[in-house]
Structure 1
Amino acid sequence: MADSSDADAAPPDVLRVRDLPPGAADALLASHGLQLHFVDDATPIPGSFWGEPEAGVIAHNVYVRGDTPVHSMLHEACHLIVLPVERRAQVHTDATDSVIEEDATCCLQIILADDLPGVGRHRLMGDMDAWGYTYRLGSTRAWFEQDADDARAFLKERGLPHR
């Protein structure tokens, strides 16, 4: 029997960038003016706010490894997408300066998950919960379905997907 502390230390079972079909993430990010960069396994990820294996951002670039969670790649990419293009150039590691931008980022990452084969919003929301995202309604899905109207309005005002 495994020690419970070993089980607690194991990373959650979430989709990783290596699980995506080749080119799918590149194409999605490119459609929003972003460049996806892959770094070698066990190499530090440039611009990672939380540290490995979390994705990193610098200007219009998103950095990932094979073990980067898909939700992290989408989250960091969406931080850049919700910003006006002229602000992207100033981003290095920390892209948010407001609560509404953070909320819009979370909402958009869920929406864009539908554009990645084998992911979809329901799987992504489950991965977000497993990773430790927290919302006052208790789950990512409850927040997205019942409490994200302000985030959707923010996205709509900027001409971004908000469905």
Structure 2
Amino acid sequence: MLTLADIGFDATAALLARHGLRLVRVPDGGAIPGSYWGECEAGLIGSDVFARADTPVHSLLHEACHLLVMPSERRASVHTDATDSQEEEDATCYLQIVLADALPGVGRDRLMADMDAWGYTFRLGSTRAWFEHDAEDARDWLEVRGLLASVGGGAAAIAA
């Protein structure tokens, strides 16, 4: 799985900052604050996303996207567990795939492979199958809220 050590913190921090989030680097071996899954998985508290060098990129993007899809009033008080509904979870998964294209050396193809390797589960059997053939509800949820346009993932980017 691709980690932050593989791609570096700078581009990732810049991407998050463009969307009002802050990447907080945790020292190697340190406990990651706000991590739902523990170990090396990213954590979130408020508008901060916590990660170490060994944090998988898919994990960091997933937690960041949870923050991006939630209302700002909820974001201010979120700590560790961000999921509010299945619709929000699906939107988070969709958005992390779109945002992967904005990170040099990542891209949606690699991110979807890493999501499958980690154990994300979708009805159609793979992340790619879900994204390409079963994610209309997630895409519509994001579009209604203007979130795809705000991350540069409008219709043209989605069709790519």
TM-score, normalised to structure 2's length? 0.91
State the match for 1:3 in structure 2: none
Tell me which of 20, 45, 51 is aligned to 2:32.
Answer: 45
**Matched residue, 2:93:** 106
Q: Residue 86 of structure 1: CA displacement?
A: 1.8
Among 70, 74, 80, the alignment partner of 2:61 is 74
Alpha-carbon offset, residue 22 of structure 1: 4.4
2:121 pairs with 1:134: yes
Q: Which runs of 5+ in 2 are unaligned?
A: none
| In 1, Cα distance between equivalents of 2:16 and 2:93 | 16
C-alpha distance in 2 between matches for 1:51 and 1:102: 19
Q: What's the Cα RMSD here?
A: 0.9
CA shift, 1:84, in A, is 1.4
Contact conserved, 1:58 with 1:93, CA < 8 A, in 2?
A: yes
Higher helix share: 2
The equivalent residue for 2:45 is: 58
SS of the counterpart of 1:23?
Answer: helix
Number of aligned residue pairs: 150
Provide the C-alpha distance between the structure 2 equivalents of 1:48 and 1:22, rounded to a whole number of angstroms.
Answer: 18
> Which secondary structure does the structure 1 equivalent of 2:23 belong to?
strand
Instruction: Decide whether the 8 Å contact of 1:113 with 1:119 is kept in 2.
Output: yes
- Paired position in structure 1 for 2:82: 95
When structure 1 is superposed on structure 2, of 16-25 and 88-97 the one drifting more is: 16-25
* Counterpart residue number, 1:116: 103
Q: CA deviation at 1:21?
A: 3.8
Aligned-residue identity in percent = 67
Moved over 4 A (4+): none
C-alpha distance in 1 between matches for 2:99 and 2:38: 23
Measured in 2, the distance between the counterparts of 1:46 and 1:27 equals 21
CA distance in structure 2 between the partners assigned to 1:21 and 1:76 by the alignment: 17
Bigger Rg over Cα: 1
Structure 1 counterpart of 2:32, which letter? I
